[in-house]
Structure 1
Amino acid sequence: MSSLKGYNTLDCQILNKDNQPLEPDYLKRYCCVYCHYILRQALQIECGDRICKGCIPLRLFNCPLCGDEIDPEKPNQFFSDRSCQKDVLGFTVLCKCQEKFKIGEWELHSEICEEIQKVTPKPAVANVLPQDVAQLENGLKQTQTELSEQKKQVNRCTKKLESLEKEVRQLRLLTDEVRRGVAAYGIAPSPGSSSRTAADGEPAVNSRVLDQIRETVTQLVSDIEQQKGTLRQLNTSVDHFTQTFPRMETVLEELNLKIEILEVKSTSGVYIWKVNDLARRAREARIGRTVSLYSPPFYTSPHGYRLCLRAYLFGDGSGKGTHISLFIVVMKSEYDDLLAWPFQHKVTLTLINQDHPLTPERSTTHRFIPNADSSSFKKPVDTFNVASGFPEFAPLSVITDQAFCHNDTLYFRIKLETPEAVTGPDELKD
């Protein structure tokens, strides 16, 4: 049984297809009776109420709404509510940061949304031990294997369905032919009569032949009913796997993101951020579905400042609709009390020309020295400080420029140079 509860949208707004907020009374019909969140993998209980698949208790329980006693171990207590699930997956979430996402995409975004982090801060990533990374990697491999097996099972079910449907059609045609033959001979003779002659001169028909034909028809009808039952079972199996795919793929994305964050690839003050699947991400930015992207966090030194990059692939502020916007974000870390504030490292941001990656002048580069009076570079109080950088970092044309975009991928590079006056725990000498 899945352990996932409903979609916890906090106090974000749920929008309908016309981007209008759903009324609370209307939204209640899409809430789980157990966890009270938006239904995930909605099931209808025998009593008529709805529950998340992952919320079903293991033992006898009473429906929280109507009080009916439900035994999960008995058959036909829960039924897949595909109509409800389809409605839920069509919901749009207006996040606290005012960006819009489909409900499955919002769940991933919520992990890094600075506005949500203010309400429900996450534990510091750097506290995670290497064995946690290994555990996530094993989980990712297991999920990938399960997803692959499920896809194979769907293919097998689909082929079996096609074969059975063809067989049923053939059986029906044969049954019709036999029935027409029986109708042509008329009713069988009474017991003790060995044959009959049709009034219109048709040849005599042995009653034994008629009995065999009737038995064949009965058997064929029985076979068809059995095939229908098998078809229903396979359809149920295919429906189950089809509903499971989106969530499995979302779990894969979540695990990939967590592993990438936990590994913290750079503690040297130089970090390269690979942005792949660029065409899809740019399209989603253009239509307002996923306006910005965050890089995994990185450090200036093993115990230094923690930062990340934030990119708007359809621009932000003065660059909206014309440029890619690129910013740095100072993040809260467990070493902040040991560091000098405000943050004063010189920042160099580069979009790498992949045709000439070792020729800096061919790339797009911008530099700045942090403003000591800006709140963006003060000691963080929340998970993220306000982003700071370049609204007009690079023209949108670079997305289709083959010099910068290879294999649907861009590479951003950040270099942080430590001022001589700044020291931290990694620079202190005994």
Structure 2
Amino acid sequence: MSAPAPADDARVHDLVGIGIGPFGLGMAALSEPLEDVDAIFLDQAPGFSWHPGMMLDGATIQVPFLADLVTMADPTSRFSFLQFLKETGRLYPFYIRESFYPLRSEYDRYCRWVAEQLNTLRWRRRVRAVQEEGEHLLVVADVLDAEGAVVGTEEHRGRHVVLGVGTRPVLPPALAELAEAADASAPPVIHSSQYLPAREQLLDAGSVTIVGSGQSAAEIYRDLLEDAAARGTRVDWVTRSPRFFPMEYTKLTLEMTSPEYTDLFRSLPEERRESLGREQRTLYKGISGDLIDDIHDLLYRLSQGGAEVPTRLLTDTAVTAARHDAETGEHVLTLEHGELGTRREHRTHAVVAATGYRSSAPALLAPLGERIRRDSRGRLDVSRDYTIDDQQRIHVLNAEEHTHGVTAPDLGFGAWRASVVLDAITGREPYPIERRIAFQTFGLPADDA
């Protein structure tokens, strides 16, 4: 490994971005036309890729096309989804389709199209540390080759750092232990993010159990069920939720994705925010109503003529323990019913955990020590304006669900948040920032006048 060496002539950038997912890419696209922003963005991946393990045929994103990388900040941007459709000859087909919701694979292609036009992105850069260096921040990154081996290091200096490192897949403790203990010859225990590469193996497993309550669990169940039934493979679905919740999508509920509701959420005590976050999961982690209906229609069709569909759907049921039975080759899950308190063993040859993602304080911040604010649980203490240090130089994207609520993971709010961050970096408002967008009032007004 080579010694640290200056990069880009050791100049000090206005912004060094770490992580190029949709939110980081949106920040890069909105920064590009600003003459007073010298930016660079780093990511360890070889190129842009958005949830490749869940690119199911026909799956759509759950927000309208206006929730692209830039439009909600700058509707005239050359990086809009509509501009992508125009340049790729698909604007009229999209118009005739009469659906606001792009295909998931099409959204991924759109993001790749934007990434190809930006010269501020640096791929195969794995950031090791963010350090203080006088008035600036020093970002140290390993340079990776095509196989992921370290071939050198770079240093990038910035007046501001923006963290867009995203979230990581989460397995419940019992399934995490099962996955770690299983050897290569054992049936798969995977997170939903790994689904597509494992699909054929799952269909041939003999039995598959999906654990989870949201859109990903429903999509995988729907995708497997028909082919699995034809192969004689059983597909079961287990969720802790009391029912298969549809995502709440009424217009007044959608107003909670707003600056005003974020202000209310921020004003609450930490413990109340924590419990409220759990209560509000159906606002963005539920299942689309159309998909729920489609699943029921499929079950009805498969059961015609009195045929028994090889499946079981279990609600209000948690996986409390898991082990592998080497004699039978099965995984044995201990299931506990929430209302009844009863327990049963459930045997399956494969497990797909559609159990979501979680943000965490990345280790690369460790050199900054107490400069980084943290809450009582050790999580990043994110200010209203998305900074995590008192100097207001380190900003975060989608690491603030515990402090800002439902707006954090929402694709449609990403451009608004990027506008706030760019305001802090430039000292001006390059994109108009809406302070009020909702008809309703969250909390009580100061008086009745």
Q: TM-score range by the shorter chain?
A: under 0.3
| Bigger Rg, structure 1 or 2 | 1
Q: Please, what TM-score do these two structures have when normalized by structure 2? A: 0.18
Higher relative contact order by CA 8 Å / sep ≥ 6: 1 or 2? 2
